[in-house]
Structure 1
Amino acid sequence: MRFNTFGITASSILLATASAFALPKATEIFPDMGLGYNIGNTMEVPGNPTGWGNPFPDAAYVKAIKDAGFNTVRIPCAWDSHASNGTINAGWLDSVKTVVDLVINNGMYAILNSHWDNGWLEDHVFDGEGYDKSGLVNSSAATVAAKQESYWKQIATKFAAYDEHLIFASANEPGVNDPWNGGADNGQWAFDSKRMTVLKQFHEACLKAVRATGGNNATRIVVVQSPRTEIDKAPLLSEQYPTDPAGEGYTMAEVHFYPYQFSLMKDGDEDWGKMFYYWEDKTPGNDAAHTCSGSALGSKKSIDNLFGGLKTRFYDKGIPVVIGEMGAIKRLDLLSGDNLKKHLEARAAWYGYTVASAKKNGLVPCVWDTGDEGDGNFTIIRRQVNKFGGKVGDITDVETLNAMREAYGQAAVPGNSIDSTVKENTTILDGDMALHITYKTVQSDTSEAGTMRIDLSKDWSQYVAISFDLRAAGETAGPCMDKTRDGCGDYGWASVSLFNMSGEWKWNEVSLGNVEDLGTLKNYKIEFGDGEGKLAFENAAKMNAIGINLYGTQFTGDMYLNNMLLWKADGTADTLQSFDTKKPKLEGIATGELIKANATGDWGKSAIAIAPTRIAANSKMLVNVQPGMVSATFNATKATRGTATLMNSMGQVIAQQAFEAKAGANEVQLNTNLRGPAILIVKQGSQKNVQKITLR
């Protein structure tokens, strides 16, 4: 095993001293790769590494990964979304190099892959007619392979001087987004030997490009993925393993491990199977139906059988295997008290057993991490300090980390995450509860949103409407960031909408009205479908999320929400959210707490005094919208100077007109070429009329 000397300059760390000599083979470096960690939802975000909520990786975060006991870091990465006319942006290559250098300078191995990246390769593992996420399409395997070769030639050239601590990975989960078409693979379009021939072509395009750049790349380790990176598809990879120009010994295979019922399932039991909260003997003892044990996928028996099969198929033939991603979510919104504690203990035990079995069978386990710390998270090391507090590098799941460290002979780190998590996520309830949401904008001239969101993975085809109890109130004439700005406070407004995301996360929403119209507790029943006042779906059979948004500028206020029901055509209803257990996700300018439900929708000690808004009712103004033009008719109590303003949904002024109003009826006209939702504000003296409109 060869190591360069760490602690000298970064450039000299990375340069090979004798490129004429081959780098170590995969079986030689496997024992030193140890435990792996993913910097997930970051460098693979199409176009912007911070777009999914994580900061750009810095030295403190990467050092924390090393200090936690990891020795391999997988860097999921996008390339196509950072390329123009087939050329990867030089600045992006430098950004990726920054992260790679941080990893290697901390004495760890870096696995740099080509991730989903809008599916340019991953969703098109076929030649000719086939299915991607959009349906039946045609894709040229030769064209995709040529693109794969071109990108990897550019990547390999950038990193040609790096030693064996840098590893390339050809793809991520090729074919995982195959749609459900009644095929042979649990309903998905079948991934058979014919399609494996195409995937082999893509892997060989990567290998060809890397080897062609010479130097250390001639024998650099390259990881190749099984179809969908699923363990049960590993035989296809074994039977058609890519040919490496470097010869045998310089590749690794990759699979991922998410036993669905234990690792990912969280939106309710199904008729084909139940969610597994618990694992083996880490169970309350009275809930065997929700315990992963015996021969269930993810149990001790299945882990040993599956990993033993990978050892026979690959490692025993000189091909170590990387478990590029593995993990199990925390069901923070489903469980509480002792049940939540037992669930978190079960997760820690599962992680420990899984990585121990991986190590024994020639596998490098890399745990998945998204940076989030809410319901359904995998996170062990904190990085989103702006959202969750603390400092970068804090261990958020001590017990899971220690279970894995034990498997690798490392001493336990101090701390207790389970008890604090249980305390934080368990509410002692006293009868019927409701949700109290508080909103406070920060910007003075830009629209901001406060979101209450319920994540789903459900078929809503049986439902025809949704109902809920809602009341909102607040002050829409401040605060202003710049109190000296002329007109500060003139353009405050707030409106509320019900939204959903369905199908391929298509957004639809329906307005519930401006805040000044929502000051009395009322039961709202919104029908599903197309048309005025209805909530549309892209695909009701595939609901992803539903929620309520408050959009506002210069707004401070509150909302009371309770009893969200889903209605069927026969007049019966199912409860979507009663708020009697836990609050849902709140984002943006929204914060909240569970409160005792009441008959008027009051929220007790409000963040503000509940006062009527300063915006006049819509009935005082008649608005006519025509293509390219908006006109408003209104009454003025006396002759005065006024202004008419159009703002878009971001709170930006898009048209403005000063006018001299006379006592009595008046009309003002604004012209704009923009389309979409807008706010019309007509002000004369102390009078102000506001109306939401849609520009045509």
Structure 2
Amino acid sequence: MNIPFRFLGLFLLAALAIFSCGETEDPKPIIFAVSTNAVQFEAGSQIISITSNSIWTIEAASSWLEVTPTSGTGNSQITLKASSTTLSEVREASVKLSSEAKVELISVKQDAKAPSLPSYYIPSHATGMRDISNLELAKEMGIGWNLGNSLEAIGGETAWGNPKTTKELIGVIKSAGFNSVRIPVAWSKFTHAETFEIDPAWMARVQEVVDYVVDDDMYVVMNIHWDEGWMQPTFAKQNYVNDRLEKMWIQIALNFRDYDDHLLFAGTNEVMVDGDYSTPKPEYYQAQNSFNQTFVDAVRSTGGRNTYRNLVVQTFNTNIDHGVNFFIMPTDDTERRLMVEVHYYDPYEFSLKEDEVITQWGEHATDPSKTASWGGESYADGQFQQVKTKFVDNGIPVLLGEYAATDKKAEDNDTYRKYYLKHLSKSAKEHGLVPFYWDNGFGGDYGSALFNRSSGVQLYPDLIEAIISAGQ
């Protein structure tokens, strides 16, 4: 085809236009970036900037983390909001941001809640506290003795017939071979009944008796004892008891905070529903387990040496079987500083019942009519083995806080009392328990005293020797 020269320019322009219409423009690059890929904060909210020229969406894989907005287009800001936490550990979540061609992940960490320290707290310190475990300290406690029916007497120290405790009496206990003293205390002597403020004069008297023992280089286990039975383990009373228990133990712990590890606190005593010695309902032992936790938390909240003090918690009604079946060990931020307490008065017919029927015990008994049909040596050994397996073998010392055989004044009773106490003391020690004999200060019929509280004279030297020899 011949194209005149004058039309050649127009032809080339048309061809170029046709060629250009067939080309595709280069796509715009997708921009998508976040201001940070890691966020850490305790509470409140954090803002993250998004730089984008496209549509984006957000997914947050956590119920405690709120993200707004969850989608958008172009440049924007998103807000990360964490719900409040009471956790003592950091919790983590991830946030996924997706655009048309790119994904960004944001790691979110929420700091543990900073502890709110009470005004009475002082920094923890172990000055004067030896760096030994609870098991090691328990071994040093040796054989223990109870200052029974004195400081726990409702109405005052002498209200149940015993004289005021003296330093001389404690010296006699030490000389006899005991290395620990359990001091039951009724603390409900208040200057203000609604705030449970303990009478300063009573606090000072208890401290005076504690000092008698500590000054003799002996161990003290000091508790809140029966105290008219206000510590009822029911759901109806649970909040009241925990509140009162906390307020009382904070006061006690603050007063004795500067004592070294020769002083142990025991939170409760024989917690049970009045008159009900049967297997506890779940309500009962759940409430009682909460009392143990309240006690531990209250003491630890005071700081200082109390951070490292050995604390004693009890099984339900201090019963061995209930302890094996229903006891839950309280949580404690301080490691290896908790002990468990049980009591033993089996068989009841021999050890406590006030009559002259069952006066013999054990394999040497000569009269079946004077011997209980249960609770002999193998039974006692089996009970202590249960405790050893459940607690001692798992690093938790056990105090046998009370055991005794009352004096029935039968002609042959003392022989069997001696054998009973020797066997129990020896078996307890062999199974890793720390035994504390229950001395109520009364040496008459159905009493369990070993010493005359006024003179310090040993009322039953053979029984004392039987108990002490078990720890040698």
- Whether TM exceeds 0.5 here: the answer is yes
Q: CA deviation at 1:193?
A: 3.0
Q: Does 1:114 align with 2:114?
A: no
In the alignment, the residues of structure 1 paired with residue 273 and residue 218 of structure 2 have an alpha-carbon distance, to the nearest angstrom, of: 29
Matched, 1:205 2:294: yes
Shift of 1:244: 1.8
Contact 2:165 2:209 survives alignment (8 Å): yes
The residue that corresponds to 2:155 in the other structure is 47
SS in structure 2 of the partner of residue 368 of structure 1: strand
**Shift, 1:318, TM fit:** 0.9
Task: Find the counterpart in structure 1 of residue 432 from structure 2.
Answer: 362
Report the secondary structure of 1:303's partner residue: helix
Q: Secondary structure at the match of 1:347?
A: helix
* CA displacement at 1:232 relative to structure 2: 1.8
Aligned mates of 1:126, 1:23 — CA distance in 2: 38
> Do the aligned residues in 2 keep the contact of 1:113 with 1:169 (CA within 8 Å)?
yes
Mapped partners of 1:232, 1:343: distance in 2: 28
CA distance in structure 2 between the partners assigned to 1:153 and 1:214 by the alignment: 11
Relative to structure 1, is the Cα distance of residues 126 and 83 closer, same or farther in structure 2, using a 3 angstrom cutoff? farther
Decide whether aligned partners of structure 1 residues 113 and 18 sit closer, same or farther in structure 2, where only a CA change above 3 A counts. Answer: closer
Letter in 1 for 2:351: S
Q: 2:242 aligns with which of 139, 145, 165?
A: 145
Aligned mate of 2:330, from 242, 264, 289: 242
The 3 A distance-change label for structure 1 pair 166 and 20 is closer
| 1:103-502 matched pairs, under 5 angstroms | 103-121=213-231, 124-128=232-236, 139=237, 141-175=238-272, 177-179=274-276, 188=278, 190-238=279-327, 240-247=328-335, 249-259=336-346, 260-267=348-355, 275-283=357-365, 285=366, 287-292=367-372, 296-297=374-375, 299-332=376-409, 335=410, 340=411, 342-383=412-453, 385=454, 392-409=455-472
Q: C-alpha distance in 1, partners of 2:250/2:126? A: 22
Contact 1:278 1:346 survives alignment (8 Å) = yes
1:178, distance to aligned residue in structure 2 (A): 3.1
CA distance in structure 2 between the partners assigned to 1:114 and 1:80 by the alignment: 9
The 3 A distance-change label for structure 1 pair 168 and 356 is same
The one-letter code of the counterpart of 1:395 is: Q
Q: Retained in 1: the 8 A contact 2:189–2:202? A: no
In structure 1, C-alpha distance between the alignment counterparts of 2:401 and 2:447, rounded to whole Å: 18
Structure 1 counterpart of 2:120: none
Return the offset for 1:265.
Answer: 1.7
Change over 3 Å in CA distance of 1:21–1:375 after alignment to 2? closer
Match of 2:209 in 1: 99
Cα contact 1:282–1:345 (8 A) shared by 2? no
Instruction: Output the CA distance in 2 between the equivalents of 1:352 and 1:214.
Output: 41
Corresponding residue of 1:468: none
User: Could you tell me how far apart the structure 1 residues matched to 2:304 and 2:290 are?
Assistant: 24
1:55-78 CA distance string (max 9 Å, x none): 111111000110111001000001
Query: 2:267 is matched by which residue type in structure 1?
Result: S
Compute the displacement of 1:195 (Å): 1.9
Do 1:23 and 1:216's aligned partners in 2 also have CA atoms closer than 8 Å?
no
**Superposed displacement of residue 405, structure 1:** 2.0
Please list, as runs of the form range in 1=range in 2, the aligned pairs for 1:633-672 lying within 5 A after superposition.
none
Q: 1:77 aligns with which of 162, 181, 185?
A: 185
Aligned residue number for residue 137 of structure 2 = 29
Deviation at 1:194, TM superposition (A): 3.0
Cα contact 2:125–2:307 (8 A) shared by 1: no
Check if 1:59 corresponds to 2:187. Answer: no
Higher deviation after alignment, 24-33 or 210-219: 24-33
Where is the helix percentage greater, Structure 1 or Structure 2? 2
Name the CA distance, whole Å, in 2 between partners of 1:351 and 1:70. 15
| 1:369-416, Cα deviation, whole Å (9 max, x unpaired) | 111111001111111x4xxxxxx211101111111122122xxxxxxx
Question: Closer, same or farther in 2 for the Cα pair 1:253/1:303, shift >3 Å?
Answer: same
Q: Is the 8 A contact 1:208 1:245 kept in 2?
A: no
CA RMSD of aligned residues (A): 1.9
Q: Tell me, in whole angstroms, the C-alpha distance in 2 between the residues paired with 1:20 and 1:406.
A: 31
Listed one character per residue, the Cα deviations across residues 97-116 of structure 1 (whole Å, up to 9, x for unaligned) are: 10100001111100000001
Separation in 1, partners of 2:128, 2:383: 39
Provide the C-alpha distance between the structure 1 equivalents of 2:427 and 2:468, rounded to a whole number of angstroms: 13
In the alignment, the residues of structure 2 paired with residue 195 and residue 311 of structure 1 have an alpha-carbon distance, to the nearest angstrom, of 24
State the distance in 2 between where 1:192 and 1:219 align. Answer: 34
Residue 82 of structure 1 deviates from its aligned partner by 4.0
Q: 1:281: Cα distance to partner? A: 4.3
CA distance in 2 between counterparts of 1:46 and 1:246 reads 34
Residue identity in the other structure for 1:203: N
Residue number in structure 1 paired with 2:28: none
Relative to structure 1, is the Cα distance of residues 40 and 221 closer, same or farther in structure 2, using a 3 angstrom cutoff?
A: same
Q: Shift in Å at residue 83 of structure 1?
A: 4.8
- Residues 82/52 of structure 1: CA separation in 2 closer, same or farther (3 Å cut): farther
State the alpha-carbon separation in 2 of the partners of residues 222 and 229 from structure 1.
15
| C-alpha distance 211-91 of structure 1, shift in aligned 2 (>3 A) | same
TM-score (norm 2): 0.70
Contact 1:25/1:221 (<8 A) preserved:
no
The answer to whether the 8 Å contact 1:20/1:215 transfers is no
Residue type of the alignment partner of 1:38: N
Give the counterpart letter for 1:267 in structure 2.
D
Pairwise CA distance, 1:176: 5.8
Amino acid in the other structure paired with 1:90? P
Q: Residues 176 and 353 from structure 1, CA distance in 2 versus in 1: closer, same or farther, beyond 3 angstroms?
A: farther
- How far does residue 218 in structure 1 lie from its aligned partner after superposition? 0.4
One-letter code of the match for 1:369?
D
SS of residue in 1 equivalent to 2:189 = helix
* CA pair 39-67 structure 1, distance change in 2 beyond 3 A: same
Q: Distance in 1 between matches of 2:131 and 2:199?
A: 29
State the structure with bigger RCO (CA 8 A, min sep 6), 1 or 2: 2
Matching residue's letter, 2:309? R
> 180, 197, 211: which one pairs with 1:87?
197
CA distance in 2, matches of 1:73, 1:376: 22
- Please tell me whether Structure 1 or Structure 2 has the larger radius of gyration of its CA atoms: 2
* CA distance in structure 2 between the aligned counterparts of 1:127 and 1:228, rounded to whole angstroms: 17
Give the CA deviation at 1:175.
0.4
